[in-house]
Amino acid sequence: MNDMTLLEAMNEAGYWLDSFQSYEGYLRFSGDYGTRMTFESWEEVEDWLRGVVFDDPEVSDRVERIMHRAW
């Protein structure tokens, strides 16, 4: 899956890439209420998106549509 699709899915999940703090091998995402998530690769991001269960079913549906569109 390409990085842009994963970035779009993360945005729908409520997390935005912190491009100032991210570099190859370290991807940092900021979310609501100051939450932070870090990943070592886009593959880790994809694995997280495929495995997470969101509290809001609408968020789950939007993320799932983006992820399935890329297949």
Per residue in 14-39, pLDDT (tens digit) is 999 999 999 999 999 999 888 999 99
Per-residue model confidence (pLDDT) at position 71? 56
Q: Domain span at residue 15?
A: 3-64
Residue 69 lies in a domain: no
Residue 70 lies in a domain: no
Residue 60 lies in a domain: yes
Q: Is the Cα dihedral 30, 23, 62, 43 positive or negative?
A: negative
**E strands within the chain?**
15-17, 27-31, 36-39
| pLDDT of 55 above 60 | yes
Residue 20 lies in a domain: yes
Residue 38 lies in a domain: yes
Rounded Cα gap, residues 32 and 40, in angstroms: 21
pLDDT-derived band of residue 70, with 50, 70 and 90 as boundaries? low
Domain count, the chain: 1
